[in-house]
């Protein structure tokens, strides 16, 4: 029996006014290394979701701008950036439908926040106002910071990455506040910030607040997240 390479959908974001949609190549390369076939899912409205999911074996929810705080019961904050109502609508619909189907999901940075909001959770709007800056989750520049994350030892995340403490590339100013339904926290920064969540059911769902794609090409621990997704999505030709 020959294994069929699973088709993995990756979300995308507008790359500029009138200039199409964009998914950083590091995400795509990590999926290809894992043995998957990447396809892009641009934010073009919730009516695309059903057709996408009928053709996909797995899903990567990539990073990007903030989610509209009204969608999780919060007011606007001066630090919120890059709001995109169509992207929010498309990706929340996609996330909820994929969860309902039990589709394997890897969610990264904004993707983690999408999963939490889709499940009824809420977000801290600006982490420095909540936990201070002893652990630097985002620098003033676009260069990611690096900090440790402690992983629950009996979790799918620990089993997938092969470690209970990992160094992570970080660039975010929001994080989980109230955890959504049927989710569990499985990773934390030293300041207590939730850095990873998973499903409380048997579904393959790993959501991380950091950016594993940035170092996956040289760090097998980070590449293992993409490997685990593709393995969970794998089909066998009969």
What H or E segment, with its residue span, contains residue 130?
helix 128-131
d(CA 33, CA 19): 28
Whether the Cβ atoms of residue 75 and residue 116 lie closer than 8 Å to each other: no
**pLDDT tens digits for range 137-194:** 888 777 899 999 999 999 999 999 999 999 999 999 999 999 999 999 999 999 999 9
The mean pLDDT value of the chain amounts to: 94
Give the tokens for residue 192: 């207590």
What is the value of pTM for the model shown? Answer: 0.95
Whether the Cβ atoms of residue 37 and residue 6 lie closer than 8 Å to each other: yes
DSSP E strand stretches across 76-215: 105-108, 123-124, 145-151, 165-170, 175-176, 183-188, 194-199, 205-208
**Alpha-carbon dihedral sign for residues 224, 225, 226, 227:** positive
Residues assigned a catalytic role: 109, 211, 213
Q: For the stretch 42-66, what's the b/e string if a residue is b when 16 or more beta carbons lie within 10 angstroms of its beta carbon?
A: bbeebeebeebbeebbbbbbbbbeb
State mean pLDDT over 192-208: 95
Instruction: Set out the domains of the chain in order of their start, with CATH numbers.
Output: 3-236 (3.40.50.880)
């Amino acid at each position: 029996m020959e294994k069929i390479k699973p088709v993995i959908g990756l979300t995308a974001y507008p790359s500029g006014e009138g200039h199409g949609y964009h998914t950083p190549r590091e995400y795509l390369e990590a999926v290809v290394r894992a043995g998957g076939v990447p396809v892009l899912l641009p934010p073009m409205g919730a009516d695309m979701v059903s057709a996408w999911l009928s053709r996909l074996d797995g899903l990567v929810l990539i990073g990007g701008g903030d989610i509209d705080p009204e969608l999780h019961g919060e007011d606007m904050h001066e630090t919120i950036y890059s709001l995109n109502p169509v992207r929010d609508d498309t990706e929340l619909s996609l996330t909820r439908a994929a969860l309902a189907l039990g589709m394997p999901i890897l969610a990264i940075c904004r993707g983690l926040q999408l999963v939490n909001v889709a499940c009824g959770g809420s977000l801290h709007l600006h982490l420095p106002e909540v936990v201070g800056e002893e652990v630097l989750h985002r620098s003033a520049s676009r260069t990611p910071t690096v900090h440790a994350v402690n992983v629950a030892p009996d979790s799918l995340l620990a089993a997938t990455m092969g470690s209970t403490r990992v160094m992570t590339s970080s660039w975010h100013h929001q994080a989980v506040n109230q955890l959504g339904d049927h989710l569990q926290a499985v990773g934390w920064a030293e300041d207590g910030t939730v850095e990873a969540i998973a499903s409380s059911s048997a579904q393959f769902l790993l959501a991380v607040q950091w950016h594993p794609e940035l170092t996956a090409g040289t760090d097998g621990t980070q590449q293992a997240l993409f490997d685990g997704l593709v393995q969970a999505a794998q089909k066998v030709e009969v």
